[in-house]
Amino acid sequence: MISKDSFVSGFVPEHNHGSVDYTSVSNGHVHQCLDVTSPPIMTQDGGHIHYTEGYVMYEDGHKHYYKAYSGPAIPVGNGMHVHYYDFYTTTDDGHNHRVQGVDMPAPGTK
């Protein structure tokens, strides 16, 4: 059984990542972005990325939607990896927000 504390060398087929982040400041406010990715999507180089979509938290009388793909896996030690993300939300209420960072570690070094 693989848990969040397991050391796993290689690729774990069915995993996903969560993240908790804030958007950039735009129009004088931010939104919290709570996210869980899709299972891995294999890439031509033998690595993987993840897809995600959803809404940021309702704030300042409106919300924003997003669709994005992560970057490739980045090993972080202890048999875990993360992914970098950098995307923009939809334009709502006359503005959009940027969301960037890394997701929570998941088992596997690739």
- Rounded-to-integer distance, Cα 23 and Cα 33, Å: 7
- Residue 60 located in a structural domain: yes
Does the pLDDT value for residue 1 go beyond 70? no
- Residues in contact with 95: Cβ distance below 8 Å, sequence separation at least 6, in sequence order: 26, 27
**Which pLDDT belongs to residue 6?**
62
- Residue 53 located in a structural domain: yes
What's the whole-number mean pLDDT along residues 87-101? Answer: 97
Q: What is the pLDDT of residues 18-68, one digit of tens each?
A: 999 999 999 999 999 999 999 999 999 999 999 999 999 999 999 999 999
- Residue 5 located in a structural domain: no
Task: State how many domains the chain has.
Answer: 1
Enclosing domain of residue 23 = 18-107
- Residue 78 located in a structural domain: yes
- Residue 45 located in a structural domain: yes
Q: What is the pLDDT of residues 60-78, one digit of tens each?
A: 999 999 999 999 999 998 8
**Which pLDDT belongs to residue 110?**
86
Alpha helices for 2-51 (secondary structure H): none
